[in-house]
């Protein structure tokens, strides 16, 4: 099943403001972009110009990207609402 469809199974109340901030000046020099590999929700994507895009509305709040970012380019706080699992 496509990732976006899988994420669509979950209840996720997304706020108007992103709870994730990235310093793209740092990310532009990061070649591996480990955040894009570890994130299970595809929150972090690289566009054609190698610029990091953050789809904060996909985030399932697992925390993986916080450990993966080698340059401290990521600022994260939990959203006020966000994901609510029905099974867990």
Partner 1 sequence: MDYDVDVAIVGGGLSGLSAAITAAKNGLSVIVLERGDYSGSKNVSGGRMYVHSLKRLVGDKFKDAPLELPIKKETFEVYNNGRKTTFSFENKENDNSYSVLRSKFDRWLASEAENSGVAISYSTLVTNVRREDGIMVVESNRGDIRTPLVIESDGASSFVSRYLGLSDIGMNYKMENVKNLLGNNNFQAKNFMLGIKEIVERKAEDSAGEAKTILGLTDGIKGGGFVYTNKNSYSIGLTLKMDSLESNNIKSHEIIEKYRENLGMDGKILEYSAHLIPFYRYDYLPKRYDDNLLVTGDAAGFMLNDGFTIRGMDLAIESGMIAGNAAKKITDSKDYSDTYIYEKMLEDSFVLKDLKAASKISSLFGNERTFNVYPSIISNLIDTMFTVTDSPRENIKNVIRNEIKNNNISYFTVINDLLKVI
Buried b (16+ CB within 10 A) or exposed e, 53-73: ebbbebbbeeebbeebbeeeb
| Selected binder of partner 1 within 15, 24, 37, 50 (CB under 8 A) | 37
| Selected binder of partner 1 within 36, 46, 55, 57 (CB under 8 A) | 36
- Go through the chain and tell me how many residues it has: 88
Q: Is 8 exposed, middle or buried (0-12, 13-18, 19+ CB in 10 A)?
A: exposed
Count of residues that bind partner 1 according to CB under 8 A: 43
Q: Is 68 in the site for partner 1 (CB under 8 A)?
A: yes
| Selected binder of partner 1 within 38, 46, 55, 57 (CB under 8 A) | 38
Report, in Å, the least distance between residue 28 CB and partner 1. Answer: 14
Nearest 5°: the CA angle 72, 75, 76 is 130
Footprint on this chain of partner 1 (rule: CB under 8 A): 1, 3, 6-7, 9-10, 21, 23, 26, 32, 34, 36-42, 60-64, 66-69, 72-78, 80-88
């Amino acid at each position: 099943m496509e990732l976006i469809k899988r994420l669509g199974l979950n209840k996720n109340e997304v706020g108007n403001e992103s709870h994730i901030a990235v310093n793209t000046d740092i990310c532009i020099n990061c070649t591996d972009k480990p955040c894009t590999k570890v994130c299970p929700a595809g929150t972090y994507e690289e566009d054609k110009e190698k610029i990091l895009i953050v789809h904060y509305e996909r985030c399932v709040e697992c925390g993986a990207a916080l450990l993966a970012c080698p340059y401290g380019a990521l600022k994260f706080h939990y959203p006020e609402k966000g994901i609510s699992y029905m099974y867990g």
